[in-house]
Chains A and B, each alone.
Chain A
Amino acid sequence: MKTFAMKTAAAFAVGAALALSAGAPGAAQAATPKKGGILKYVVPAEPPSFDGHRETSFALIHPIAPFYSLLIRVDPSVPYKSGNFVCDLCTEMPKPTDGGKTYTFKIRRGVQFSDGTELTAHDVVATYQKIIFPPQGVASARKAFYVMVDSVTAPDPYTVVFKLKYPSGAFIPALANPYNFIYSKAKLDQDMHWYEANIMGSGPFIFDGREAGAVIRGKRNPNYFHKGKPYLDGFEAIFAKKQSLRVQAIRGDRAAIEFRGFPPKSRDDLVKALGKDITVQESNWNCVLIVTPNHKKKPFDDVRVRRALTLAIDRWGGSKYLSKIAIVKAVGGVAFPGHPLAANKAELQKLAGYWPDLKKSRAEARRLLKEAGVPNLKFELHNRGVDQPYKIVGTWLIDQWKQVGMTVTQRVQPTGPFYATLRKKKDFDVSLDFNCQAVVNPLLDVAKFISDDKTGNNYGNYQDRELDKMFDAMNQEPDPKKQRAIMRKFEKRALDEQVNAMITLWWYRIIPYRSYVKGWYISPSHYLNQQLEPIWLDK
């Protein structure tokens, strides 16, 4: 079983490295770091709360992650190889024992929370208990990632033991999730909701104030356990909802960087205006927009109609042109493009909606609509009120469907009501939805497509027990080749045979930033590598 874990880890490392078409940006930045300075960066939204275990938004990660440490993390010096996991609070990456079912972590000594108390294994255990086994009334957004975990214990103050129900290659990537902030057991014992409104961690920065709607400030943690870091004196996360404002902030040097990503046009404008003062890093992005038909609503309960929807979409053409105006690019299936578990082009072209012959594909879509009795199907596309890439892709999809005789209107809702429609009202015909994950981990990332009573983020209102079985089998399969074979069957069923959902295009991350910002490297997720400790300013 050791070989299983090692094989899987190797697959992640190789896969993630291959997955990044932009290549390694690090070499060009090598220089001696300078200390001091305040990093100002713009964030498109404010965090809904301060609790990382509860939230799923980059709006929390970008301003809040610098205040916390993690048990393990993606290596911040090479985050573009997101399969490279290193210790943050632990002293050494453990090797699994007990046939791959036990992981024992040794915790660093002398680590302090910002209130001066010592961080021990008990704090780590309390944190993961909250994440994996949250008590009634406590939200944990990613508890499904830890279905393989049987128990978390601390036999002594500097040892944490995870016991698994079965060996799983998905465990270590799940553990390195950047939302897994290590909290103080004392604070959690006092109130499990304390961290929703308060900030107190052991990260590279200490909370230094907040002006609601404007800014969150952090100052250097003098007792940070990674000696010599952070390089910055502090940071200011400035909230700016409008994209034009964020671009102008960087252009006017009122902010140095935005960590989520800009569309190609904004990159080009900044490069044109600032020349060598702007550096750009780009990467494929572990985020994808998904078309989700409501299986409980007619005629979308008919697989022929769902198949017609996907057959009408020209993904190959869309990739070529939409990538000029939106933050999307790669054509892919259910797994992150380029990953060993992902389909290659030849495999994709066998799936409905990916055929190389677009005319044939659209003719088949028209035939299916006619056969299903809805040759002039009219419906409403439910979409999120965010330009990039939701509204751009939504407008493109409507044009694609129009070409097989469908008439589609669009209902756009702000983020809150958008999710209320998906999760509670469920009164949509077809909705755009997304699957964004932090660590590239297709084995778990595809949980989005399994039955809605098995996963928390499938809004299609369907159960597909065949998919559920394949998902479980894939996660318990030690052989990466067999994992891949199951993944193909899973993909075929989800996207072609049942068309439970439709993948549009995978996102593409473009970060143009002031060239004096050094030490930050792009990753395939806007959630990763946001503790800011390696960043320094070459001013």
Chain B
Amino acid sequence: MAANPAYDPALDAPAEKQPLATRLMYLVRKQPLGAAGAFIVLIMVLSAIFAPVLSPYDPTANDFAAMAEAPSGAHWLGTDQFGRDLLTRIVFGARTALVVGFASALVGGIIGLVLGVASAYFGGRFDLLFQRVMDVFMAFPLIIMALAVVSIFGTGVQNVIIAITIPFIPRCARVVRSSALALREIPYIDAARACGYSHTRIILRHMVPNVMAPFLIMITAFVGQAILLEASLSYLGLGVQEPTPAWGLMLQGGAEEYAESAPWIAIFPGLAITLAVFGFNLFGDAVRDVLDPKLRSQ
């Protein structure tokens, strides 16, 4: 059997033989931007987990003696109009962002994965009809779709997750389907059918694991998008509600009125959103580069 000229065995070598630190250093050298993204994501995750330990203040406690205070030793990023410590609210806001981001991306992605693979596997009229339904959903821009959903279900963290999950489903299903269409023609699927395996078993055990690469790429991209969408919905007053710490909500509460006299109220939550989305995008690109064989060969 001839060797694949596009395959570089050296790419896999460190992962198999070297200790963890070496392998990490190798990845950092190979994907410096991805590593930076992963670092931002890691910081965010750790902040969310250890928020009560890291934050010296209660994120929802009003302190009218410290209303709209500029950054200082006591309040590193200043306070908002209710005297709440901005750093504390940003750190706790990471929880909201991650919960909404991961929940929406995972739920939307997994439903889209199963539906996309099923659509490719069954083909025919089912595929035709299912894809037209997906077309209808895809015709709406992400934010418009989320706005429509939240206006039906109402505001709050759970409803925001639902609102962001629904528009993710067709997007994931469409990408996964295109990968699964190629899989469907591979003989081992025919072999599985010949063995009398059920459709569910063929889809879940034989097809789904083989489309994980595009799926994981989609998921990482979705997390960043979901954080941005959550911030947008909260900014529009349709997402998470006070006093829950959430970055978009922090912008909504202070950006308009205090932009001139207390700009830190808007700047720091804005920076947090930007950094988080930037981090997830870099990380997602790196995941794609590593998992996509075409890009890996380049």
Kindly identify, within residues 322 to 378 of chain A, every residue whose CB is under 8 Å from any CB belonging to chain B: 324-325
Query: Are B242 and A391 neighbours in the complex by a CB distance under 8 Å?
Result: yes
Binds A, one of B43-51, B61-69, B219-227: B61-69
Q: Tell me whether B12 is interfacial, beta carbon within 8 Å.
A: no
Binds A, one of B14-22, B96-104, B136-144, B256-264: B256-264
Q: Tell me whether B31 is interfacial, beta carbon within 8 Å.
A: no
Q: Tell me whether A265 is interfacial, beta carbon within 8 Å.
A: yes
Query: Are B243 and A265 neighbours in the complex by a CB distance under 8 Å?
Result: no
Query: Are B62 and A411 neighbours in the complex by a CB distance under 8 Å?
Result: no
Chain A residues contacting B270 (CB-CB under 8 Å) are: none
CA distance A263 to B61 in the complex (A): 22
**CB-defined interface of B87-113 with A at 8 Å, one 1/0 digit per residue?**
000000000000000000000000000
Q: How far is the CB of B4 from chain A (nearest CB, A)?
A: 57
Query: Are B242 and A411 neighbours in the complex by a CB distance under 8 Å?
Result: no
**CB-defined interface of A393-431 with B at 8 Å, one 1/0 digit per residue?**
011101100100000011111000000000000000000
Closest to B244 in A: A409
Q: Tell me whether A441 is interfacial, beta carbon within 8 Å.
A: no
Q: Tell me whether A243 is interfacial, beta carbon within 8 Å.
A: yes
Q: Tell me whether B237 is interfacial, beta carbon within 8 Å.
A: yes
Query: Are B242 and A242 neighbours in the complex by a CB distance under 8 Å?
Result: no
Query: Are B82 and A395 neighbours in the complex by a CB distance under 8 Å?
Result: yes
CA distance A320 to B261 in the complex (A): 20
Query: Are B243 and A395 neighbours in the complex by a CB distance under 8 Å?
Result: yes
**CB-defined interface of B151-169 with A at 8 Å, one 1/0 digit per residue?**
0001110000000000000
Chain B residues contacting A399 (CB-CB under 8 Å) are: 60-62, 82, 243
Kindly identify, within residues 220 to 242 of chain A, every residue whose CB is under 8 Å from any CB belonging to chain B: 242
Interface SS of chain B: helix, strand, loop or mixed?
loop
CA distance A385 to B256 in the complex (A): 16
CA distance A157 to B234 in the complex (A): 59
How many interface residues does chain B have, given as a range? Answer: 20 to 34
Q: Tell me whether A321 is interfacial, beta carbon within 8 Å.
A: yes
Closest to A268 in B: B261
Chain A residues contacting B154 (CB-CB under 8 Å) are: 411, 413
Q: How far is the CB of B108 from chain A (nearest CB, A)?
A: 24
Query: Are A265 and B257 neighbours in the complex by a CB distance under 8 Å?
Result: yes
Q: Tell me whether B241 is interfacial, beta carbon within 8 Å.
A: yes
Known A-B contacts A325-B67, A413-B154; A394 and B242 likewise in contact (beta carbons under 8 Å): yes
**CB-defined interface of B237-271 with A at 8 Å, one 1/0 digit per residue?**
10001111000000000001110110000000000
Query: Are B64 and A395 neighbours in the complex by a CB distance under 8 Å?
Result: no
Known A-B contacts A265-B258, A317-B64, A399-B60; A410 and B81 likewise in contact (beta carbons under 8 Å): no
Q: Tell me whether A269 is interfacial, beta carbon within 8 Å.
A: yes
Chain A residues contacting B67 (CB-CB under 8 Å) are: 321, 324-325
Q: How far is the CB of A289 from chain B (nearest CB, A)?
A: 15
Chain A residues contacting B243 (CB-CB under 8 Å) are: 395, 398-399, 410
Q: Tell me whether A244 is interfacial, beta carbon within 8 Å.
A: yes
Interface SS of chain A: helix, strand, loop or mixed?
helix
Query: Are A242 and B256 neighbours in the complex by a CB distance under 8 Å?
Result: yes
Q: Which one of A243, A269, A396, A409 contacts B241 once the chains associate, using CB atoms below 8 Å?
A: A409
CA distance A274 to B67 in the complex (A): 25
Query: Are A263 and B257 neighbours in the complex by a CB distance under 8 Å?
Result: yes
CA distance A15 to B52 in the complex (A): 52
Closest to B255 in A: A244
Chain B residues contacting A321 (CB-CB under 8 Å) are: 64, 67
Known A-B contacts A269-B261, A321-B64, A412-B155; A398 and B242 likewise in contact (beta carbons under 8 Å): yes
Chain B residues contacting A292 (CB-CB under 8 Å) are: none
CA distance A265 to B155 in the complex (A): 28
Q: Tell me whether A266 is interfacial, beta carbon within 8 Å.
A: yes
Q: How far is the CB of A73 from chain B (nearest CB, A)?
A: 35
Chain A residues contacting B64 (CB-CB under 8 Å) are: 317, 320-321
CA distance A219 to B261 in the complex (A): 40
Query: Are A410 and B241 neighbours in the complex by a CB distance under 8 Å?
Result: yes
Chain B residues contacting A391 (CB-CB under 8 Å) are: 242
**CB-defined interface of A263-301 with B at 8 Å, one 1/0 digit per residue?**
101101100000000000000000000000000000000
Query: Are B261 and A411 neighbours in the complex by a CB distance under 8 Å?
Result: no
CA distance A317 to B65 in the complex (A): 11
CA distance A412 to B242 in the complex (A): 9
Q: How far is the CB of B251 from chain A (nearest CB, A)?
A: 12
Query: Are A410 and B242 neighbours in the complex by a CB distance under 8 Å?
Result: yes
Q: Which one of B241, B242, B261 contacts A265 once the chains associate, using CB atoms below 8 Å?
A: B261
Closest to A264 in B: B257
Of the candidates A242, A243, A268, A269, the one having the most CB atoms from chain B within 10 angstroms of its own CB is A269
Known A-B contacts A412-B155, A412-B241; A325 and B81 likewise in contact (beta carbons under 8 Å): yes
Known A-B contacts A321-B67, A325-B81, A395-B82; A412 and B261 likewise in contact (beta carbons under 8 Å): no
Closest to A388 in B: B257
Known A-B contacts A321-B64, A325-B81, A411-B155; A244 and B257 likewise in contact (beta carbons under 8 Å): yes
Q: Which one of B60, B156, B237 contacts A398 once the chains associate, using CB atoms below 8 Å?
A: B60
Chain B residues contacting A395 (CB-CB under 8 Å) are: 62, 82, 242-243
Q: How far is the CB of A520 from chain B (nearest CB, A)?
A: 25
Query: Are A269 and B260 neighbours in the complex by a CB distance under 8 Å?
Result: yes
CA distance A321 to B79 in the complex (A): 15
Q: How far is the CB of A127 from chain B (nearest CB, A)?
A: 38
Q: How far is the CB of A270 from chain B (nearest CB, A)?
A: 11
Closest to A318 in B: B64
Closest to A326 in B: B81
Chain B residues contacting A394 (CB-CB under 8 Å) are: 242
Closest to B252 in A: A387
CA distance A321 to B62 in the complex (A): 11
A-B contacts, 28 listed (Cβ < 8 Å): A244-B256, A244-B257, A263-B257, A265-B258, A265-B261, A266-B257, A268-B261, A320-B64, A385-B237, A391-B242, A394-B242, A395-B82, A395-B242, A395-B243, A396-B62, A396-B82, A398-B60, A398-B243, A399-B62, A399-B243, A402-B60, A409-B241, A410-B241, A410-B242, A410-B243, A411-B154, A411-B156, A413-B155
New contact pairs (10) apart from A402-B60, A411-B156, CB-CB < 8 Å: A243-B256, A243-B257, A325-B67, A385-B237, A391-B242, A409-B156, A409-B244, A411-B154, A412-B241, A413-B154
Q: List B residues at the A interface (Cβ < 8 Å).
A: 60-62, 64, 67, 81-82, 154-156, 237, 241-244, 256-258, 260-261
Q: What 3 pairs between A and B have smallest CB-CB spacing?
A: A321-B64, A244-B256, A399-B62
Q: List A residues at the B interface (Cβ < 8 Å).
A: 242-244, 263, 265-266, 268-269, 317, 320-321, 324-325, 385, 391, 394-396, 398-399, 402, 409-413
